[in-house]
Structure 1
Amino acid sequence: MRQPIELFHHLKQEVLLTYQKHYPYFEGNWKTFSSQDIQNLIQLIETGVKQTVSEKWIYTHLKPETNEKLPRKDMLDILSQLVGYSGWDEYVFKHKAIEITATPIAKTNTKKRRFWIGGAVILGAAIVVYVVKFSKTTQTIEVKNAFTNAPIDSEEIKAVVVENQVETPVTIVDSKLQLPSEKDSATIVLKSPYYKDKTIVVHKETNTPIVLQPDDYPMMLKGFMKSDIKDWQTRKEQLQMILADELEVMVLLKDNLGAEYFNKQEFSERLIIPSKAIKKMKVVDIQSNKDNKINFIRIIQE
């Protein structure tokens, strides 16, 4: 009989399969699950289960290949609901029931075993047909920088289809939105830490790129973090201009080591002198106040 921690590992795989149904172009595993995949999964849970899961929780409990401790039951309930169960109790009950009924069948009934194998082959073939069909009915639209006309990095964009106030995440591959083309039109909302939000109605025949307008202050911040500018005094003055006095910065540490928090002074001191650590930081969210100064930054340390 499987132990609860083993059932949790099985549940993690079912969560991954559920994610792949919504993002068929993802072919990796939890180890290769990117920060963008994490954002997509959080959105998927919010849309499908009406619950929230933090980035830190996913880094701590889903990305590791092995887990020594079972997560809290309320979180197990959320994941179980995502894959189609009422909660963790039903998930455990039904999987234990499957084990009990599967053992004698495997030992005593070869014909039934063959029947199930044949069914699995048919199901696999159906899945292949579905994937092929989906790929043929996918509309791709490139997303570009309005000023430079260059493609925008896929990891810097988040997009959702909005229908009846429900948001469905959109897969982005090589700077291109992957949209199912069954419907004549769809309302798309695009967001990015470095570009201004945009809502656009995309029609089935649309093939022109979507252009996003850069947000000046976040773009300057990106330049500070990625460049090798040595003039620290200039950096200091410009940071004073674009960062709000009430700035809060949350840095999620790698290897599930938690998070660090910085205020304006602490964060500015880090940015004044370029370093490898700064260049490895990935900004996933930037918010601004009414004066357009940056007052919140969420960063993942890669």
Structure 2
Amino acid sequence: MTELEKFQELKQKVLLKYQEHHPFFQGTWKTFSSQDIQNLIGLIEEKCKQTISEKWIYTHLKPETNNKIPRKDMLNILSEFVGFSGWDEFTFEEKISESKKSKVSKKSKKWLFVLIIFLILSIFSIFLMIYKKEESKPKTIQLNNEYTNEKVNAEEVKVFEVKDSVKQELEIKEGKVQVSNNGNEKSKLVIQSPFYLPKTIVINPNGTTTEPPKRIDLKPDDYAMMLKAFMLSDIKDWQTRKEQLNKILSDNLEVIVMLKDDLGAEYFNKSEFSQKLIVPTASLKKMKIVEIKNDANDKIQFIRIKQE
């Protein structure tokens, strides 16, 4: 604050001091009358034992703005009138007041800055927690037949989740499986079935976050699907079925039927197994294929069956 600004403030304090003695006056220096000037001169003489002329008041106090400050001895009188020992103390007190205001302002700004940073970090932490929670939720994958677009039979497919060489079978419900989704943890899904071609889905390759697919289409093994149909359907044209079986079954076919109640297993070659399919029985429909292997020509070479 400049000395002229401090003088303007001193003028306002003088005016307020005058109003303490003459509360009926509610104006400004511009409306300060001749009688008010006389009253002010009397108050200053009474309190400070000093005299200020009417002309001085007109010259320095009445104007709204001042181009220069008055002599210091006059400033001392006015400063004493408003409660200070002199102009030096008045300006010193003003500096202290300004310093306090400045410190308070800086302190407020500092706390405001700290508060803003705290709020930003809090909001970021909340969003991070929500994101991690959402990210760690198990993801559901639909398994469909690639050709028919229908969901797979849970009894005909096995899905394994492999992490760090640990293989865990996942439960299939209504053709859907749920897989964990733990950030950057590398894992893969291994899908096996006697009726579909095997499939492996890598999740988070090279440690980069990759969302598991929402749907996986499995390509059916045509010969395996035909064999399943033969075992479940009633015979209509045994000669046609015999010809079809000859096309899809390898001459070196081996069939292992695991009997119920751990009673052992039965072995069939191509001829024996074909005859069993050509002339189906009630027990045939209770057999469930659990494993199929093909030869180099893609014909079925090995079948493992579970008796239910």
| TM superposition score normalised by structure 2 | 0.51
> Counterpart of 2:99?
none
What is the CA–CA distance in structure 2 between the aligned matches of 1:200 and 1:218, rounded to whole Å? 23
What is the CA–CA distance in structure 1 between the aligned matches of 2:263 and 2:164, rounded to whole Å? 39
Deviation at 1:208, TM superposition (A): 2.3
Matches within 5 A, 1:1-302: 137-184=137-184, 186-202=187-203, 205-302=211-308
Deviation at 1:249, TM superposition (A): 0.5
Q: Map Cα deviations across residues 90-133 of structure 1 (whole Å, 9 max, x no partner).
A: xxxxxxxxxxxxxxxxxxxxxxxxxxxxxxxxxxxxxxxxxxx9
What is the CA–CA distance in structure 2 between the aligned matches of 1:255 and 1:183, rounded to whole Å? 45
Q: Map Cα deviations across residues 205-229 of structure 1 (whole Å, 9 max, x no partner).
A: 4452110001111111011011123
Are residues 296 and 220 of structure 1, via their aligned partners in 2, closer, same or farther at CA, if it must alter by over 3 Å?
same
The residue identity in structure 2 corresponding to 1:198 is K
The residue identity in structure 2 corresponding to 1:284 is V
Q: Which runs of 5+ in 1 are unaligned?
A: 1-132
The residue identity in structure 1 corresponding to 2:156 is E
Preserved contact between residue 140 and residue 214 of structure 2 (Cα < 8 Å): no
Deviation at 1:279, TM superposition (A): 1.1
Deviation at 1:257, TM superposition (A): 1.6
What is the CA–CA distance in structure 1 between the aligned matches of 2:183 and 2:293, rounded to whole Å? 33
Larger Rg: 2
Preserved contact between residue 164 and residue 187 of structure 2 (Cα < 8 Å): no
> For 2:242, what is the secondary structure of its paired residue?
helix
The residue identity in structure 2 corresponding to 1:189 is V
Preserved contact between residue 291 and residue 305 of structure 2 (Cα < 8 Å): yes
Deviation at 1:230, TM superposition (A): 1.6
Deviation at 1:182, TM superposition (A): 2.0
The residue identity in structure 2 corresponding to 1:272 is I
> For 2:283, what is the secondary structure of its paired residue?
helix
Preserved contact between residue 230 and residue 273 of structure 1 (Cα < 8 Å): no
Are residues 164 and 182 of structure 1, via their aligned partners in 2, closer, same or farther at CA, if it must alter by over 3 Å?
closer
Q: Map Cα deviations across residues 128-165 of structure 1 (whole Å, 9 max, x no partner).
A: xxxxx9xx932221100000000001111112223344
Q: Map Cα deviations across residues 211-262 of structure 1 (whole Å, 9 max, x no partner).
A: 0001111111011011123210011001111111111101011122211111
Identity %: 51
What is the CA–CA distance in structure 2 between the aligned matches of 1:169 and 1:161, rounded to whole Å? 6
Q: Which runs of 5+ in 2 are unaligned?
A: 1-132, 205-209
| TM superposition score normalised by structure 1 | 0.52
What is the CA–CA distance in structure 2 between the aligned matches of 1:240 and 1:300, rounded to whole Å? 23
Deviation at 1:301, TM superposition (A): 0.5
What is the CA–CA distance in structure 2 between the aligned matches of 1:241 and 1:170, rounded to whole Å? 35
Q: Map Cα deviations across residues 150-198 of structure 1 (whole Å, 9 max, x no partner).
A: 0001111112223344433222222112212224463111111011111
> Counterpart of 1:15?
none
The residue identity in structure 2 corresponding to 1:250 is I
Are residues 183 and 258 of structure 1, via their aligned partners in 2, closer, same or farther at CA, if it must alter by over 3 Å?
farther
Preserved contact between residue 160 and residue 170 of structure 1 (Cα < 8 Å): yes
